[in-house]
Structures are given as structure tokens and as C-alpha cells.
């Protein structure tokens, strides 16, 4: 039974992909743009936060690091619930009319990915040889340039942090379901579509969507790996 | 308060203390390095040489005391001033960190951060790499090089901006034998251009090959001069090939057992100098009459300083000292073998 679903799903996936099935392409597109946008925002906020925690010495630093590491395992439904309570009608952000919109999904996913980008970014910078920063300093770099150079030297670790954040988002379902509402042609992405098809008993379609999701995740990681290996020009 | 004292001092420090985890690793009463000269800090590993250079480079902050770099306290400057001061100092670390990029980009880095671009950037970087003999490595990934190559690149990178003060931490530590003269020549050239160079090394021979201004650091403290009887002169031919005459300023000539020729520094271990009231027949090639100028009792030994054309120190036991019956002003003869003169 299991094998037949898998094989059937694989063939179905190929058919859906090559026949240009609108539902599949729409869901894949929603998954991609929402997760990529959220990953970009979470990285833009989280990596500098991780950088600051790595290089600054302040009271409560240990607590911040522990908190970030704890938040790595943040359940998606908790984030969904948390954001939901703030954006539903009659609440603080209710007037923004975000609920069941791509915007709400992005907000939720940013909250989910931010600790990942920050915690792994902090690890990447902390594990870099301190001589990198000192060398930039003694060679006459301005404080801003020292930060850029340090980030450049830790680029493999930082890109790994971005990849981990992106990987977590493209595959998450809790936030998308609770905040996006799985509305067809609007907020339905690959994971919520899989949940829907499974509940309908359409295992093969669900499997096909799952395979497409995996291929997407694989493609994104290949892209990041290429970026990691590319270019030797410093920041 | 140490005065900036115009331009004569590149670095001055007073009551300088640096501790790690409450343990002082450097504790200096007063140290000065004059401008436009090569200075060498010599001392064993763990003596505090690197810490001192890191303090001068502005990477570390002293716990106590005064430190002035090129007339300024680096920690009492505005951000902009501190950056301007750092840009006047070059530093090549003992274990150099090379950026994950090409050798060329590494050497260009200090120029780029100063806004240098275009043909001037290429020209200066190329000249610096050429001087250190690493131009052929320009396009190589800097992280794939040997320790010696990395050290040379690090020095090329530190000197590319022509700093006023250059700090070299163990520059010859990983350098192959052919590379050492390149570094020595660079130091001489920089000195002639008015650059102050401070070199840290644990090898005494290297120290004196680089400069006569050698300070000794041990256990984080500055010690008396590294050696007694430091002489500087010209090594010229003697009758035998394996021997030379060290011609000193003032006309004094010493027989020396070396094949080296030209400008050189030499020392004579005070214990190798025999003190006598009159000259005597022996195999020793150098027998120099002079007058005692100073007598010092140090830990049961007597340090006899005599002017034999240059001031030289010898060490004798109390018993010998009493038997000789010498006082300040007495005539003495200092005798030592040609092999007792250690040439650098």
C-alpha cells in the first residue's frame, strides 16, 4: 500500500508538473514567495541580532543565547496562535485586516525563522577565529567595514543559518494554516494543500505535492550551496 | 604624564599593566621606542612580546598605565581619531590571519578600506607583493599557502600602506632560510625611509641582525640590555680567510673568527674576557690595554668595566678581584680569543 502511494505519487507528481497543473503551480508559487520573503526578512533582522550577541559582552547575554536556542524548537501552532490573537478582529492589529492573508503568513513565518537566523548566525560568528576581526581592525578598517569583513569571513556559517531558516519555513504547516486559512488561489501553499488533499483521501495528489515540496527545498539548498562556493572577493 | 615630546618617540609607555584573568602578563615601568629606527624586543615564548605589540597595535587595552602611540593615547581618541591613528600603524601577527580570498585581494585590503582604487591600488599592491617575493602567488587562494608564504603575505599587506610605525611579531618564525634576508633588508629599507619598526623575536641572533636597539622582555618585565659588550663595526679581511678584523669606530680593531664581511654587530661574553694587570703570552688574539672605569658587585661577582678604546665589561670572582688589587682608574689588560667575539 505504502509503496503504491509512493510510486503513484511520483508518477502523479510528474504528470502534474509537466501538464502545468494550475493548483500545483499556484501552491508552489505561494510557498516560494511567502517563505522566501519571510526568510529574507528574518535573516535581515536575525543575522545582525546574532552578530551583536556574538561580539558584544553585556549583562544577560547567556540568557539571550539560551532563549534563542530554546526558540529554535518553537512549535509552529504556538506562533500561529500568538499572531492570531493579535491580528483577529477587535484586537490591536485587527484594523490592518491581516488575518487569512499572505501578510499574516509572512509575519508568522518571520517570528518562526528569526530565532533560527539569530541563533545559528551567532554560532557562525562566535566560531570564527577572533583574528579575522582583529586583522581587519589593524589593517585600518572602519567599524562598519570590520563588521562586513567579519560577516564575509563567516559567510559559510551565515548562509547555513539562512538555509536552515528557509528550510524550516518552506516545510511548515501550522502558521500557514492558522494565519493563512488555506484559501485557494490566495493563501494555499504546498503544505496546506498536502494537508487538505490528505484529509480528502487524495493520497497520491498529496504525495505528488510532497515530492514537489522536497524538490523545491532541494533546489533552494543547491542555490545556497552555489552561493557559498562562489566568489572570492571580500566584502 | 609622558609628554608627546615632538616626533622623537614613536611609542612610550609608563607603568603599563596588562592582565589576563587577574594574572599580569605584562608589567612595564617605562619603555620608549624612538622614531625612525628598527627596535627589537627579544624574549622567550610567553615573555609578553605579543601582548606588548597588541597593545601598541590597539587590539588590546591596557588595564593600567599610560601608553602613547605616535604621540597619542589610542584609548582617549574619538572614533574618527582612533581610526586615523590605527591607519598610521601596520601590524603583522605571528600567526597571520589571511582573508578567505586571493592573495592579491588580501594585500589590496588595507588600500581598499582607505578608499584607494584603480591603477594606484594595483600598482601599490603589486609593488608590495614583489618586495616580499610573493607576486607569483597573487591569484592563489590565500588559505591554501604554507606558513612561510602566509607570513610574507601578511607583511606585504601590513606594509602596503607605508605605515609610520610597523609592528612585526616573529616575522622570521615560519620563513624559510632564503626568506630571512628579504625581511632583514625590508627592515633596513624602511628604517632608511623614516619608518619606525618594532620587531618581536625569541632568537637573539635574529635580533642583532635586525638592530642594535634590542630590549629584553622576560616574564612580562623589561630586563637589563639583552647582552653586554655589544659592538658595531665593519668586518674586513684578515691574513687568514677564516678570520676577519672587526674595525670599530675610533680605530679599535679586533680579531674575529668569521667568514662574514661588511657591516656587522658583535658581542663578547663578559665571562670570556680575562682581566690581568699586564699583558701575557697566550693563544688569545685580542689583548687590549685600558683603564678601569667602573666596578660593580653583583651577586658575589665583580663586573669590571674598562675603557679599552670602547667600554667593555668583564666578570671576575671576588678572589681574583682581590688578588689583582684593581681600583677605578687602574691600568688593566683585557684578553680574549677571536672565537669569543660572537658576530651577528
In this model, does residue B341 exceed pLDDT 70?
yes
Q: Write down the pLDDT at residue B97.
A: 96
Q: Write down the pLDDT at residue B89.
A: 97
Interchain CB contact of B157 with A (< 8 Å): yes
Contact B165, B158 (CB under 8 A): no
Q: What is the DSSP annotation of A120-145?
A: HHHHHHHTS-HHHHHHHHHTT--HHH
Q: What average pLDDT does range B326-337 have in this prediction?
A: 94
Query: Residue B243 — pLDDT band, cuts 50, 70, 90?
Result: confident
> Between the CA atoms of B159, B160, B162 and B163, what dihedral angle is there, to the nearest 10 degrees?
-50
In this model, does residue B255 exceed pLDDT 70?
yes
Interchain CB contact of B95 with A (< 8 Å): yes
- Using one digit for the tens of pLDDT, what is the confidence trace for A97-133? 899 999 999 999 999 999 999 999 999 999 999 999 9
In this model, does residue B237 exceed pLDDT 70?
yes
By C-alpha distance, the chain A residue nearest B56 is: A138
From chain B, pick out residues whose CB is under 8 angstroms from the CB of A129. 97
Q: What average pLDDT does range A37-41 have in this prediction?
A: 97
Q: Write down the pLDDT at residue B302.
A: 92
Residue B146 backbone class (left: φ over 0; alpha: ψ -120 to 50; beta: rest)? beta
Instruction: Give the C-alpha separation, A213 to A176, whole Å.
Output: 15
Lowest-confidence segment of A80-84, B203-207, B228-232, B295-299 by average pLDDT: B203-207
**Cα angle vertex B12, ends B8, B13, to 5°?**
165
Domains and CATH numbers, chain B: 9-223 (3.40.50.300), 230-343 (2.40.50.100)
Q: Which of B86, B95, B105 sits opposite A137 (nearest CB)?
A: B86
Contact B168, B92 (CB under 8 A): yes
Q: Which long-range contacts (CB under 8 A, 24 or more apart) does A43-46 make?
A: A43/A113, A43/A117, A43/A161, A43/A162, A43/A165, A45/A110, A45/A114, A45/A117, A45/A118, A46/A113, A46/A114, A46/A115, A46/A116, A46/A117, A46/A118, A46/A121, A46/A161, A46/A165
Instruction: Identify how many contiguous H helices and E strands chain A contains and give both numbers.
Output: 11, 0
Answer yes or no: do A138 and B90 touch at CB < 8 A: yes
Q: Write down the pLDDT at residue B286.
A: 94
Interchain CB contact of B90 with A (< 8 Å): yes
From chain B, pick out residues whose CB is under 8 angstroms from the CB of A134. 59, 93, 97
Q: Give kind and range of the element (H or E) at residue B59.
A: none
Instruction: Give the C-alpha separation, A186 to A184, whole Å.
Output: 5
Q: Write down the pLDDT at residue B6.
A: 45
CA distances, B245 to each of B237, B238, B285 (Å): 6, 6, 11
Crossing angle of the two packed helices A155-170 and A143-153, in degrees rounded to 10: 70
Query: Residue B213 — pLDDT band, cuts 50, 70, 90?
Result: confident
- Using one digit for the tens of pLDDT, what is the confidence trace for A20-31? 888 888 999 999
Q: Write down the pLDDT at residue B41.
A: 94
- Using one digit for the tens of pLDDT, what is the confidence trace for B274-295? 999 998 999 999 999 999 999 9
Answer yes or no: do B59 and A132 touch at CB < 8 A: no
Q: Write down the pLDDT at residue A230.
A: 60
From chain A, pick out residues whose CB is under 8 angstroms from the CB of B96. 135
Q: Write down the pLDDT at residue B226.
A: 55
Q: Which long-range contacts (CB under 8 A, 24 or more apart) does B261-264 make?
A: B261/B235, B261/B236, B261/B237, B262/B234, B262/B235, B263/B232, B263/B233, B263/B234, B263/B235, B264/B232, B264/B233, B264/B234, B264/B235, B264/B343, B264/B344
From chain A, pick out residues whose CB is under 8 angstroms from the CB of B114. 140
Is this structure's pTM higher than 0.90?
no
Q: What average pLDDT does range B107-128 have in this prediction?
A: 96
From chain A, pick out residues whose CB is under 8 angstroms from the CB of B157. 139
From chain A, pick out residues whose CB is under 8 angstroms from the CB of B100. 152-153, 155, 232, 234
Lowest-confidence segment of B63-67, B139-143, B221-225, B335-339 by average pLDDT: B221-225
Strand B38-42 relative to strand B196-201, pairing: parallel
Answer yes or no: do B87 and A140 touch at CB < 8 A: yes
Answer yes or no: do A138 and B89 touch at CB < 8 A: yes
Q: What average pLDDT does range A4-18 have in this prediction?
A: 80
Alpha helices (runs of H) in B132-201, residue ranges in sequence order: 147-159, 180-192
From chain B, pick out residues whose CB is under 8 angstroms from the CB of A229. none
Query: Residue B129 — pLDDT band, cuts 50, 70, 90?
Result: very high
Interface test with A, best of B84, B88, B101, B150 (most A CBs within 10 A): B101
Fold for the domain defined by A33-188? MetI-like fold (1.10.3720)
In this model, does residue A235 exceed pLDDT 50?
no
Answer yes or no: do B110 and A234 touch at CB < 8 A: no
Q: Write down the pLDDT at residue A1.
A: 55
- Using one digit for the tens of pLDDT, what is the confidence trace for A42-89? 999 999 999 999 999 899 999 999 999 999 989 999 999 999 999 988
Alpha-carbon A216 to chain mean position: 13
Answer yes or no: do B57 and A153 touch at CB < 8 A: no
Q: Write down the pLDDT at residue A205.
A: 83
From chain B, pick out residues whose CB is under 8 angstroms from the CB of A140. 83, 86-87, 110, 113-114, 161
Query: Residue B8 — pLDDT band, cuts 50, 70, 90?
Result: confident
Average of per-residue pLDDT values in chain B: 90
User: B196 — phi, psi (to 5°)?
Assistant: -90, 125
B322 to chain A nearest CA, in Å?
57
Alpha-carbon A207 to chain mean position: 22
Instruction: Give the C-alpha separation, B238 to B278, whole Å.
Output: 26
Q: What average pLDDT does range B19-25 have in this prediction?
A: 91
Instruction: Give the C-alpha separation, B299 to B297, whole Å.
Output: 7
Answer yes or no: do A233 and B101 touch at CB < 8 A: yes
Interchain CB contact of B79 with A (< 8 Å): yes
Q: What average pLDDT does range B54-68 have in this prediction?
A: 94
Please report, for chain A, the start and end positions of each structural domain, with discontinuous segments joined by +: 33-188
Residues 6+ apart with CB under 8 A from A38: A105, A106, A109, A110, A112, A113, A169
A133 to chain B nearest CA, in Å?
10
Q: Which of A132, A145, A152 sits opposite B113 (nearest CB)?
A: A145
Q: Which of B97, B101, B105 sits opposite A129 (nearest CB)?
A: B97
Q: What ipTM did this prediction achieve?
A: 0.77
From chain A, pick out residues whose CB is under 8 angstroms from the CB of B137. none
In this model, does residue B214 exceed pLDDT 50?
yes
Q: Which of A132, A141, A155 sits opposite B97 (nearest CB)?
A: A132
Q: Write down the pLDDT at residue B4.
A: 42
Q: Which of A139, A149, A233 sits opposite B157 (nearest CB)?
A: A139
- Using one digit for the tens of pLDDT, what is the confidence trace for B161-189? 999 999 999 998 888 777 788 888 899 89
Amino acid at each position: 500500500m505504502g509503496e503504491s502511494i509512493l510510486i503513484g505519487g511520483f508518477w502523479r507528481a510528474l504528470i502534474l508538473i509537466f501538464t502545468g497543473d494550475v493548483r500545483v503551480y499556484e501552491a508552489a508559487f505561494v510557498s516560494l514567495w511567502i517563505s522566501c520573503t519571510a526568510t529574507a526578512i528574518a535573516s535581515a533582522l536575525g543575522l545582525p541580532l546574532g552578530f551583536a550577541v556574538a561580539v558584544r559582552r553585556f549583562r544577560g547575554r547567556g540568557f539571550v543565547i539560551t532563549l534563542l536556542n530554546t526558540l529554535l524548537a518553537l512549535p509552529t501552532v504556538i506562533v500561529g496562535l500568538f499572531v492570531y490573537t493579535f491580528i483577529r478582529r477587535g484586537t490591536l492589529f485587527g484594523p490592518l485586516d491581516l488575518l487569512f492573508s499572505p501578510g499574516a503568513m509572512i509575519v508568522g513565518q518571520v517570528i518562526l525563522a528569526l530565532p533560527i537566523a539569530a541563533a545559528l548566525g551567532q554560532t557562525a560568528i562566535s566560531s570564527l577565529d577572533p583574528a579575522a576581526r582583529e586583522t581587519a581592525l589593524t589593517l585600518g578598517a572602519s567599524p562598519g567595514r570590520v563588521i562586513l569583513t567579519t560577516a564575509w569571513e563567516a559567510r559559510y556559517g551565515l548562509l547555513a543559518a539562512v538555509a536552515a531558516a528557509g528550510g524550516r519555513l518552506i516545510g511548515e504547516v501550522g502558521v500557514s494554516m492558522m494565519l493563512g486559512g488555506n484559501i485557494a488561489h490566495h493563501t494555499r501553499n504546498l503544505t496546506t494543500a498536502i494537508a487538505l488533499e490528505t484529509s480528502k483521501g487524495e493520497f497520491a495528489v498529496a504525495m505528488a505535492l510532497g515530492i514537489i515540496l522536497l524538490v523545491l527545498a532541494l533546489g533552494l539548498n543547491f542555490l545556497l550551496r552555489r552561493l557559498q562556493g562562489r566568489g572570492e572577493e571580500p566584502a | 604624564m609622558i609628554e608627546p615630546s615632538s616626533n622623537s618617540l614613536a611609542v612610550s609607555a609608563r607603568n603599563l599593566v596588562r592582565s589576563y584573568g587577574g594574572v599580569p602578563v605584562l608589567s612595564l615601568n617605562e619603555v620608549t621606542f624612538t622614531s625612525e629606527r628598527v627596535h627589537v624586543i627579544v624574549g622567550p615564548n610567553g615573555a609578553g612580546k605579543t601582548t606588548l605589540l597588541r597593545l601598541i597595535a590597539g587590539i588590546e587595552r591596557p588595564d593600567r598605565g599610560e601608553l602613547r602611540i605616535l604621540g597619542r593615547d589610542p584609548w582617549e581618541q574619538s572614533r574618527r581619531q582612533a581610526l586615523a591613528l590605527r591607519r598610521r600603524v601596520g601590524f603583522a601577527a605571528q600567526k597571520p590571519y589571511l582573508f578567505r580570498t586571493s592573495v592579491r585581494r588580501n594585500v589590496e585590503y588595507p588600500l581598499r578600506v582607505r578608499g584607494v582604487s584603480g591603477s594606484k591600488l594595483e600598482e601599490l599592491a603589486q609593488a608590495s607583493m614583489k618586495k616580499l617575493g610573493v607576486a607569483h602567488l597573487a591569484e592563489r587562494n590565500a588559505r591554501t599557502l604554507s606558513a612561510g608564504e602566509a607570513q610574507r603575505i601578511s607583511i606585504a599587506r601590513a606594509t602596503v600602506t607605508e605605515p609610520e610605525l610597523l609592528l612585526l611579531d616573529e616575522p622570521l618564525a615560519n620563513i624559510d632560510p632564503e626568506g630571512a634576508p628579504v625581511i632583514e633588508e625590508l627592515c633596513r629599507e624602511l628604517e632608511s625611509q623614516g619608518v619606525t619598526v618594532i620587531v618581536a623575536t625569541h632568537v637573539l641572533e635574529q635580533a642583532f641582525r635586525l638592530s642594535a636597539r634590542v630590549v629584553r622582555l622576560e616574564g612580562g618585565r623589561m630586563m637589563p640590555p639583552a647582552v653586554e659588550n655589544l659592538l658595531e663595526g665593519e668586518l674586513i679581511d684578515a691574513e687568514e680567510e677564516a678570520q676577519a678584523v672587526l674595525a670599530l669606530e675610533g680605530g679599535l680593531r679586533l680579531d674575529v673568527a668569521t667568514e662574514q664581511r661588511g657591516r656587522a654587530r658583535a658581542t663578547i661574553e663578559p665571562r670570556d674576557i680575562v682581566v690581568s694587570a699586564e699583558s701575557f703570552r697566550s693563544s688569545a688574539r685580542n689583548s687590549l690595554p685600558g683603564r678601569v672605569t667602573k666596578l660593580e658587585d653583583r651577586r658575589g661577582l665583580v663586573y669590571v668595566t674598562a675603557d679599552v678604546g670602547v667600554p667593555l665589561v668583564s666578570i671576575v670572582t671576588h678572589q681574583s678581584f682581590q688578588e689583582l688589587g684593581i681600583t677605578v682608574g687602574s691600568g688593566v689588560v683585557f684578553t680574549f680569543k677571536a672565537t669569543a667575539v660572537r658576530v651577528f
